[in-house]
Chains A and B, each alone.
Chain A
Amino acid sequence: MATTSRSFPRSPAAASQQFLPTARAESVLDLIGNTPLLEIAKVTHGLLRPSVRIFAKLEGFNPGGSVKDRAARKMLQVGLESGALKPGKTIIDSTSGNTGIALAMLGAVLGYPVELVMAANASRERKKIVRAFGAKVTYSDPLEGSDGAILLCREIVAKDPQRYFKPDQYSNEANPLAHFETTGPEVWRQTNGAVTHLVAGLGTGGTAMGVGRYLKSRNPKIRVIGVEPDDPMHGLEGLKHMGSSIVPPIYHEEELDEKISVSTEDAYEMVYALGQIEGILVGQSSGAALIGALAVARELKEGCVVAIFPDLGEKYLSTNLWIGWQSWNRSRLTRLLAKCRNESANATT
């Protein structure tokens, strides 16, 4: 498939302001945000109408490697401003994933010790990364999942509550606020206001809520779509099956226009396709986001669909995501896209 160059509606001024890398930064804090927007055109070839385009917001380009840098920075900033986080405190939270990495990185640069409680089946890479940033890690029972880590973290804090600052991304409004203030405006500028649909995976709900609110404030017709696993037993790290989970207080489902369920296997297949066809190696939640974006885009006559890709793929290389990838070839993408078409046809009949 030959690459076709298509012009993208953005002003030269916006391009010069938004796409040049920061020349010099005083702190890693200043490197968070202003992530690139990449058009995904090759894996979607032939599936969409000509005036429908899909773009991926590549949050893996943040210094901690994920979208979670934004929420972590804002939660710590608000904590510092309110005095809840002050010298002598230790930052603690239960997180197996990207938030743990972000907190560990930011704790290091801000000079605060960080303790993380994570289930013992967190990936090898994650365990090593947070420890490389100097964080202390306590492991919880893998069979109890994230709930087990949450409960163990509560026990630790209860023993010495004055010692800790617990950001609690699930109930901290600074989480969606970070996206309202940064991710949302970036998407608006990078598409020159042409965005029609936002597709974001649901974990805490912070990204979908914050970016969605900002975009709707600029254009109420923009639709916000959440993506979640199709079953409580799933392999989509970072995403929550909301129907079977404790609903995060910051998540307000009524603010979504639509919710799409994605199977783990389909998301994994899309990750392989993105690597080998688009040249971008991402985590499984990005694969799920693209499946969701395709489900939306294939129904459109025209539109600009922006999918949030929460992170890149390096930290998953030791995980089950890569079981069976060796036999991947383009025919598997063809089957996946055919499945998308069939589901679309079934949905419209």
Chain B
Amino acid sequence: MAVQIRVPTPLRRFTGGTDVVSANGSSLREVIDDLERSHPGLRERLLDENGELRRFVNIFINGDDVRFLDQLSSQVKDGDDISIVPAIAGGR
């Protein structure tokens, strides 16, 4: 399953400055594992030492917050649009 992932500015140093990348997987966790293979360092920014989504990271699948779906086990399908959104808007 190929999905598109929208990457926020603080993580674009792992994607060569690109704001949209693609990855494969049938669940969000598999997609993140695939992202880590192509863009090493990304997973550590998204997941904590227990492999759970960091508290300050929000991920949306087609606009739906995965915390209200099935967290990292949320299923994805071909063509899904995934957004990684920092929990804070930044600035002051």
* Chain A residues within 8 Å of B, Cβ to Cβ: 68, 94-99, 118-123, 142-150, 169, 203-204, 231-238, 240-241, 244, 264-265, 268, 319-321, 323-324
Contacts and interface: CB of A to CB of B under 8 A. Distances in A.
Contacts, number: 113
A92 B56 CA distance: 28
B88 A121 contact: yes
A237 B88 contact: yes
B55 A264 contact: yes
A341 to B, nearest CB: 19
Interface string B33-59: 000000000000100100000111110
Contact of A119 (B48, B58, B83, B90): B90
Interface string B48-92: 100000111110000000010000000000000001111111111
A320 B87 contact: yes
A99 B45 contact: no
Contacts of B88: 96, 121, 234-237, 319
A264 B56 CA distance: 8
B7 interface: yes
Interface residues of B, number: 26
A96 B9 contact: no
Contact of A320 (B13, B45, B56, B84): B56
Contact of B89 (A119, A231, A236): A119
Contacts of B58: 121, 320
Contacts of A121: 58, 85-89
A297 to B, nearest CB: 26
A36 to B, nearest CB: 22
Top 8 A-B residue pairs of the complex, sorted by shortest distance between their CB atoms: A235-B56, A146-B91, A96-B89, A146-B90, A320-B87, A119-B89, A232-B10, A233-B10
Nearest to A310: B92
Given A121-B88, A203-B91, A268-B55, 13 more contacts: A96-B91, A98-B92, A99-B91, A232-B11, A232-B13, A233-B8, A233-B45, A235-B55, A237-B88, A238-B91, A240-B90, A265-B54, A321-B55
22 contacts: A97-B89, A99-B91, A119-B89, A120-B89, A121-B88, A142-B86, A143-B8, A149-B89, A203-B92, A231-B10, A231-B45, A233-B45, A233-B86, A234-B10, A234-B56, A234-B88, A235-B56, A235-B88, A244-B10, A265-B54, A268-B55, A320-B58
Given A143-B9, A233-B45, A238 B92 contact: yes
Nearest to A206: B92
Interface of B: 6-11, 13, 19, 45, 48, 54-58, 67, 83-92
Contacts of B85: 121, 142-143
A142 B89 contact: yes
B86 A145 contact: yes
Given A235-B87, A320-B55, A143 B92 contact: no
Contacts of A204: 92
Contacts of A145: 8-10, 86, 89-91
Nearest to B48: A265
A319 B57 CA distance: 11
A123 B85 CA distance: 13
A324 B55 contact: yes
Contacts of A265: 48, 54-55
B54 to A, nearest CB: 7
Task: Pick from A68, A142, A148, A324 the residue with the most CB of B within 10 Å.
Answer: A142
